[in-house]
Copies of this chain bind each other. A is one copy, B any other.
Amino acid sequence: MEKFPEDTPALHADLIIHDAYVVTMDQKYRLFEKGAVAVANGIIVAVGNTRDVLERYGAARMIDGRKMLLMPGLVNTHTHSPMTIFRGYADDIPLKQWLYDHIFPVESAFVLPENVRLGTKLALAEMIRSGTTTFNDMYYHSDEVAGVVDKAGMRAVLTEGLIDFPVPNSPTPADALRFSEEMIQAYRPHPLITVGVSVHSVYSASSLVYQQAFELAGKYGVPFNTHLAETRWEFDLIMDRYGVTPARYLDDIGVLGKGLILAHAVHLTDSDMELVALRGAGVAHNPQCNMKLASGVAPIPRLLELGVTVGLGTDGVASNNDLDMFDEMRSCAFSHKITQMDPTVMDARTVLEVATIGGARLLGMDAQIGSLEPGKRADMILLDLNRPHAHPVYNLYSLIVYSLRGSDVHSVYVDGKPLMVNRELLTVDEADLFEQVEALARDISSHREELTAKKIGQAGVSR
């Protein structure tokens, strides 16, 4: 290799963040106390000690990361982003009643293109502010979602939910399926948006819908999502109806396999877990939603032992009630420790792994994102440690999982581009956004009584 004169960086980068604590989440779990990351053309080109990186690289944009922590952006593997407009609409009630008496009715009336755009925008503001750089979404009007996400510059997997009764945007699941394929094709060239496929659940969609969705996902090699075994009620219903567990039912109809993302997976038997591991399906774990709706605690430590790929998710805001993955990480650690009565399970590093590279693996994106290493896309977040709760620093994983919060995120980069710097959003316009959301909420509230009386989708669950 040619020799460059001393003091002249040999290679050009666009952006270098230096002198930060760097948590890579690479295979060696490398940590740097005074670390640097260099980015060129949206790709990480160097990660290491500041001195080493600055010997090899120079950049027009140098960011001083002192008193900051640089880590991979968080990957939210299960959410319904436009549902931000229903934040706090119905709390402290059981899941089935929450879903059928409140959420499905209010969705049937208010999930219109303009409201989906508004809810998505609110979600993006919240996600960027709390350090999420990639999310996996299941909702309706996914074309509207995609338009807003594209503008914001977030990385996302977007899907249209398939369900057996008429839903916003699709009178039948066949319509939603057709729409999904059009969307997949339309977004194939997009650098940040992948369109995938979603079936709502085994209690709300037929085996035919699952099989068609499975084929479609396979045809294009895109992620395939479904809610599975979220509640005891669902488990019992499927056992009654088909004589097998929800997980085995998916296997029986031939769709349990690699690329399938099981959201929740709370009620799995031991043999279900082995089956999921054997088939290579993955799990999107939503601890806060599962606790808040009292659905149960997913057997994540055992699934990880079996080698199942696990990502972390917030679920939709109507059940959680936020999109903050830092909060979710803490709840993830806490819920498993207390369930197992063992404080050593789901230690901080394992939790962070699930929230970053694990999520990337679940979405089939681990070659591109999920850790800070040369060759990967530069999806990364910088946290400001200039706060009392960020001191002292004995262990960076403990610090991130047990002490830091979404509000400590200072800057967010996706594909090397800044979406937030010093807590100022650069790609989502918050002006009037909250007022618009409040105006919609007033409208929704004024219809609450008639909506609650509505019956949506109940045929599918009558026994």
A residues with CB within 8 A of B: 67, 84-85, 87-89, 91-95, 98, 122-123, 125-126, 129-130, 232, 288, 290-294, 296-297, 320-324, 327, 330-331, 333-335, 337-338, 340-344, 347-348, 385-395, 398-399, 402-403, 405-408, 430, 433-434, 437-438, 440-441, 444-445
B288, B390, B394, B438: the one contacting A334 at CB < 8 Å is B288
Query: How far is A343 from B97 in the complex, measured between Cα atoms in Å?
Result: 11
User: Are A392 and B441 closer than 8 Å at their CB atoms?
Assistant: yes
B123, B338, B393: the one contacting A291 at CB < 8 Å is B338
Query: How far is A98 from B296 in the complex, measured between Cα atoms in Å?
Result: 28
Q: List 9 A-B contacts (CB under 8 A).
A: A84-B388, A88-B399, A93-B344, A294-B341, A322-B389, A323-B389, A327-B405, A388-B430, A392-B440
User: Are B392 and A88 closer than 8 Å at their CB atoms?
Assistant: yes
Q: Given A88-B395, A94-B344, A334-B331, are A386 and B434 neighbors across the interface (CB < 8 Å)?
A: yes
Query: How far is A393 from B85 in the complex, measured between Cα atoms in Å?
Result: 9
Q: Given A343-B95, A388-B434, are A402 and B335 neighbors across the interface (CB < 8 Å)?
A: no
User: Are A394 and B347 closer than 8 Å at their CB atoms?
Assistant: no
Residue of B nearest to A445 (CB): B394
Residue of B nearest to A231 (CB): B341
What B residues does A330 contact at CB under 8 A? 288, 327, 331
User: Are A292 and B91 closer than 8 Å at their CB atoms?
Assistant: no
Question: Among A67, A87, A123, A347, which residue has the most Cβ atoms of chain B within 10 A?
Answer: A87
Copies of this protein chain in the complex: 2
Query: How far is A288 from B332 in the complex, measured between Cα atoms in Å?
Result: 12
Question: Among A337, A387, A389, A390, which residue has the most Cβ atoms of chain B within 10 A?
Answer: A389
Query: How far is A434 from B393 in the complex, measured between Cα atoms in Å?
Result: 10
User: Are A292 and B87 closer than 8 Å at their CB atoms?
Assistant: no
User: Are A402 and B344 closer than 8 Å at their CB atoms?
Assistant: no
User: Are A88 and B126 closer than 8 Å at their CB atoms?
Assistant: no
User: Are A393 and B441 closer than 8 Å at their CB atoms?
Assistant: yes
User: Are A343 and B405 closer than 8 Å at their CB atoms?
Assistant: no
User: Are A394 and B87 closer than 8 Å at their CB atoms?
Assistant: yes
B88, B94, B130, B333: the one contacting A292 at CB < 8 Å is B333
| Shortest distance between the CB of A28 and any CB in chain B (Å) | 20
* Chain A interface helix/strand/loop/mixed: helix
| Shortest distance between the CB of A383 and any CB in chain B (Å) | 13
What B residues does A342 contact at CB under 8 A? 94, 294
| Shortest distance between the CB of A175 and any CB in chain B (Å) | 30
Query: How far is A434 from B444 in the complex, measured between Cα atoms in Å?
Result: 46
| Shortest distance between the CB of A267 and any CB in chain B (Å) | 12
What B residues does A441 contact at CB under 8 A? 391-394
What B residues does A93 contact at CB under 8 A? 343-344
User: Are A392 and B438 closer than 8 Å at their CB atoms?
Assistant: yes
| Shortest distance between the CB of A300 and any CB in chain B (Å) | 14
Query: How far is A402 from B126 in the complex, measured between Cα atoms in Å?
Result: 14
Residue of B nearest to A430 (CB): B388
User: Are A87 and B392 closer than 8 Å at their CB atoms?
Assistant: yes
What B residues does A440 contact at CB under 8 A? 392
User: Are A337 and B392 closer than 8 Å at their CB atoms?
Assistant: no
What B residues does A92 contact at CB under 8 A? 343-344, 347-348, 398
Query: How far is A387 from B85 in the complex, measured between Cα atoms in Å?
Result: 14
